[in-house]
Structure 1
């Protein structure tokens, strides 16, 4: 009997998987519970390629021999049914690895709770500066299953824990884990399962790169002899790190015990914040593992343009700086942002996804001049502030409509004094109120500009 692949979901990755398999002449059925204009258009396009699309209640098509998931959790009923039936379940990234051509482009892969997109774009910029045809793919940019069919010299692959969970045979040229902090615990079930998924990126990597300042990243790298560390301190042999204002390599040099090579300066890193310097060091380590020369590392950092909603300066109004860090969708990301400014009115809230904010609030308390809370889990942040920052004034904003952000910015401006930073760094996901984190950041920026116009 001819094999049948079921693809779960009509999103960007699911549609790309269906196209790729159909182009190979394989039997494909896509299942999708939702409809809507975008899904109907995708279904029509795939039908024209000979792909069957089933919209409505989800069930495993009879005769399915493989299920390709695009981030669905193991406890999802469709996934659970496939596993119970002995059907192989793989992710889009794993499928892409298997579909590579005879002489494939090597992968430089990275994962982490935070900083993935910034680091992978920095890496791509370094590779391009070195003259390589490179692309940022995976959890950012082009789906990997499409990119592997293009004539790239090298792929910079951003991988989420969801993608790594369903990836069993990846063997990147070099792989990095930027950091590991509680996130997506509702998906993975436990912190250990989440960390284990992140660590899968190391299993078959030729070069392992870990964050020597992050205990979990270091723990995951411990079984691999010769692992390269990156650190915000002075690097030892086998590390890249900082010496005063220089990014320095003591790993990819002829004699790491006695030699070092300058890669860039802090002035080359934008925006300049400790966590972003760590991103630059991780990207540099992966680039150096691929043979990129120091001058291309520096040029790549200079050419790099930060993505929106990551410590993005919005405006200065009446001596108060307003910063959009809406991409901070978990406490670890918010902690990095809060450590970047000395005096902050914090705009926070959203969906915490099971994460605890106690440590975040404890560390940030000395910097906080006020807090404005919104979103589904704002009460949990308010409780932590009451316990660990009792002298910090807190404004609780009720309501789930997107117009709430105007009230948020107005209240934040009342709490702020000249020299303060009003920082949108929510520590939670945005889907309780907004379509995505960019929409949340844009709402914040619009409200700030309206405030600026009225001042």
Structure 2
């Protein structure tokens, strides 16, 4: 029997898989989608693809004979049997981002790309706002917003591309005009296997970029960028301190550029003020500097950088002020889903009643607790891995009162907020910065943040 003739296999029928299948079918490729979950959403997606001639196979994915390329969804691990079988057979495996790069037409919009453990979405939206303020037709794509394989078909002037470590793992040929790494801290170790492999995936964003932008205050970022100096690339740092030549940074209350100016040794240009950064927190200033560096690499004038920052509206659940009750502020940073993000959030406040817990995904919290101990007035713990955070507090902050709220139901949040209010004194901030994922109790970090905000509002009415 002759081998089955298959051009491309798409692994997974999520947002990126659906977009990839559509794009390939429109090009006349024969496409087979393999999907392990047979649910209502997946069936609806299959029905959408059927008129394009795309076949969707449900059940345990098996590599069809004759496959010439596999396009995988970013969440599929490299050791998945299907992907391992493809690799063993010498079949190339790429992701939707790499596919999008290969499908770009002549005169396609350049990419300004960024990655990092935390702050990616905020920074890419800041960047998009700056590009738009400069009069450019720009769009945030990739790990946020529109799938990039769909965006490359449209006539944009420039694309602001947010990339996760998963997406970068499956990318090899992308060549953004400029690329930035915001920060690197342990995360997704269960997927990548080690911190070194995780960092190596992040570093792939620099591989083909003529301008390399890195966080000069982050030792791991600096190490990732250093080899590109010797390679003759333009290497630009950003820092929360005063910038050296070739850097962007902060002088008093000003964000300044000493990289994209005619004479970096002797001159600097003002980009914005700290008051233009919202919400104002150290890690958000770093996000703004990274976005500004990418915008400046594309030739955006300083005035548009400032207008873009001033017009930027932060996404929900990112240091969002919910209410002030009895001179205590309640702040929702549910997006702080790992210890690095929680540390940045905690550093923005002087005296904190910290709400933490959830799924730690194997992350260590000792450094986080050690660094934050001096700011903590009390801690309320919830979620599956709360005991690990309690143990770290016992080691590094034994004087801090800790309340555990057991239970896995979403109604736990009312009890959590009540306990936090008991620990708080006037001038304190009750901060939801969980340092953990939310899926043990909630549909996602947004649902967790909404539950917190609703519980705070009910508290205010008592």
Q: Report the TM range for the smaller structure's normalisation.
A: over 0.9
Q: Tell me the CA shift for residue 110 of structure 1.
A: 0.2
**Quick one: distance in 2 between partners of 1:237 and 1:402?**
51
Match of 2:359 among 351, 375, 382: 351
Aligned to 1:428: 436
**Quick one: distance in 1 between partners of 2:117 and 2:278?**
20
Is residue 53 from structure 1 mapped to residue 56 from structure 2 by the alignment?
yes
Is residue 188 from structure 1 mapped to residue 192 from structure 2 by the alignment?
yes
Any runs of at least 4 consecutive aligned residues in structure 1 with deviations exceeding 6 A, and if so which?
A: none
Matches within 5 A, 1:33-72: 33-71=36-74, 72=76
Match of 1:96 among 90, 97, 100: 100
Match of 1:147 among 151, 155, 165: 151
- CA deviations 1:155-188 (Å, max 9, x no partner) are 0000000000010001100000000000000000
Is residue 395 from structure 1 mapped to residue 408 from structure 2 by the alignment?
no
**Quick one: distance in 1 between partners of 2:183 and 2:402?**
30
Aligned to 1:10: 13
Q: Which runs of 5+ in 2 are unaligned?
A: none
Q: Tell me the CA shift for residue 62 of structure 1.
A: 2.3
- CA deviations 1:44-100 (Å, max 9, x no partner) are 111122110111222122222111111111112221122122211001100000000
**Quick one: distance in 1 between partners of 2:49 and 2:295?**
37
Q: Does the Cα contact within 8 Å between 2:6 and 2:64 map onto a contact in 1?
A: no
Q: Does the Cα contact within 8 Å between 2:111 and 2:176 map onto a contact in 1?
A: yes
- Give 3-state SS (helix, strand or coil) of 1:78's partner: helix
- CA deviations 1:395-419 (Å, max 9, x no partner) are 1111111111111111111111111
Aligned to 1:286: 294
Aligned to 2:447: 439
Change (3 A) 1:78 1:2: closer
- CA deviations 1:192-232 (Å, max 9, x no partner) are 00000000000100100000000011100001123100000
- Give 3-state SS (helix, strand or coil) of 2:439's partner: coil
- CA deviations 1:315-364 (Å, max 9, x no partner) are 11122111100000100000000000011111101111111100000000
Matches within 5 A, 1:261-410: 261-410=269-418
Q: Tell me the CA shift for residue 35 of structure 1.
A: 2.3
**Quick one: distance in 2 between partners of 1:271 and 1:126?**
17
Aligned to 1:240: 248
39-48 or 157-166, larger mean C-alpha shift: 39-48
Is residue 416 from structure 1 mapped to residue 458 from structure 2 by the alignment?
no
Matches within 5 A, 1:27-176: 27-71=30-74, 72-176=76-180
- Give 3-state SS (helix, strand or coil) of 1:74's partner: coil
Q: Does the Cα contact within 8 Å between 2:343 and 2:368 map onto a contact in 1?
A: yes
Aligned to 1:21: 24
Q: Does the Cα contact within 8 Å between 2:330 and 2:456 map onto a contact in 1?
A: yes
Q: Does the Cα contact within 8 Å between 2:69 and 2:92 map onto a contact in 1?
A: yes
- Give 3-state SS (helix, strand or coil) of 1:136's partner: strand
Q: Tell me the CA shift for residue 33 of structure 1.
A: 1.1
Aligned to 1:451: 459
Q: Does the Cα contact within 8 Å between 2:6 and 2:32 map onto a contact in 1?
A: no
- Give 3-state SS (helix, strand or coil) of 1:80's partner: helix
How many aligned residue pairs are there? 454
Q: Tell me the CA shift for residue 8 of structure 1.
A: 1.2
Q: Tell me the CA shift for residue 2 of structure 1.
A: 4.8
**Quick one: distance in 1 between partners of 2:157 and 2:296?**
15
31-40 or 172-181, larger mean C-alpha shift: 31-40
**Quick one: distance in 2 between partners of 1:138 and 1:222?**
26
**Quick one: distance in 2 between partners of 1:378 and 1:76?**
30
**Quick one: distance in 2 between partners of 1:350 and 1:190?**
22
**Quick one: distance in 1 between partners of 2:59 and 2:330?**
44
**Quick one: distance in 1 between partners of 2:382 and 2:89?**
44
- CA deviations 1:272-329 (Å, max 9, x no partner) are 0000000000000000000000000000000100000000011111221111000001
- Give 3-state SS (helix, strand or coil) of 1:224's partner: helix
Q: TM-score, normalised to structure 2's length? A: 0.97
